[in-house]
Amino acid sequence: MKKHIMNRCGGFTLMETLLAVALVGVLVSIFLTVFVPARGMVQQALTKQEAERITGILRAEMGTIRPHERASANSKTSSDGKYLTPFDKGFYWLMKSKSPSSSIVIFSYRADTSKPVQADGTFPAIKASRAVPGQNSQLVTIACPMNDGLHKNDIKEAVGPVFVVKMSQLVNKNNGTFELSTAPGTIAEAGKPEDYYSSGGEKEPMYGGAVFYRADFYLMSPPNPARYRGRNWKRMGRPLFSANMSFHR
């Protein structure tokens, strides 16, 4: 009696296929459980870090007085309109938030290091097509009014996002709480810094000459100041993020 031995050809049985599918499913579940939340945490940390960087740039610039800066035409700080203190600058910068077209913008651009330094100590922007990093340009990040005479044209050459900042005062109430001003760019009971010293800040010795405000950061798209003439804050949509800040006398 002859025995026929059948050689097994290539392929998998149904049971083997089901086991393989089950194993892949388990591995995918482990991956989603472990790595996806970790990725979300990393993205959240990066977003928070970027927000802190942007607010840090605004805070540092509001504490720096540059030689070319002047208060608005209907206001005075010194006899020639220069800011006397960082408090004066912060006061008038907050007032620029009445409309997006005059508010503060924060952006990065490639500065042309082959050109003379401008009045504020920065280099002018260079076209991206002509920039050679490390040779004739350097990447700088600045905060300035959107209608700033030196940098309003540099916004079009921005590298990365451009942020538009709306500042709204947090008004100190008698019970120690703060209430958000309904009108961006206005400061309660004061039209100029010296008015705030006498009728605003000195009413609350605990806070002195401090102005507390909320800064809302919007994405400027497209990065073209001309597109924002006549636009109001309602047309800007929702801010990307917000931060409570202050400047002091």
* pLDDT confidence of residue 60: 93
Residue 35 binned pLDDT confidence (cut-offs 50, 70, 90): low
At residue 107, the 3 state secondary structure works out as: strand
Look at residue 241 and tell me if it is in a domain. yes
Query: Between 180 and 58, where is the model more confident?
Result: 58
Distance CA(168)–CA(15), nearest Å, equals: 67
- Phi–psi pair at 219, nearest 5 degrees: -85, 125
Q: Name the residue among 220, 221, 217 with its Cα closest to residue 241.
A: 217
Contacts 24+ apart (CB under 8 A), 48-55: 51/217, 51/241, 51/243, 54/106, 54/163, 54/217, 55/215, 55/243, 55/245
Look at residue 134 and tell me if it is in a domain. no
Look at residue 194 and tell me if it is in a domain. yes
Which domain range does residue 193 map to? 86-100+163-247
Q: What is the pLDDT of residues 55-91, one digit of tens each?
A: 999 999 998 888 777 776 555 555 567 788 888 899 8
Look at residue 112 and tell me if it is in a domain. no
Look at residue 6 and tell me if it is in a domain. no
Q: Name the residue among 147, 181, 178, 139 with its Cα closest to residue 164.
A: 147
Number of structural domains the chain divides into: 1
Look at residue 151 and tell me if it is in a domain. no
Residue 105 binned pLDDT confidence (cut-offs 50, 70, 90): very high
Mean pLDDT over all residues of the chain?
77
Look at residue 72 and tell me if it is in a domain. no
Cβ–Cβ under 8 Å, residues 196 and 110:
no
Look at residue 213 and tell me if it is in a domain. yes
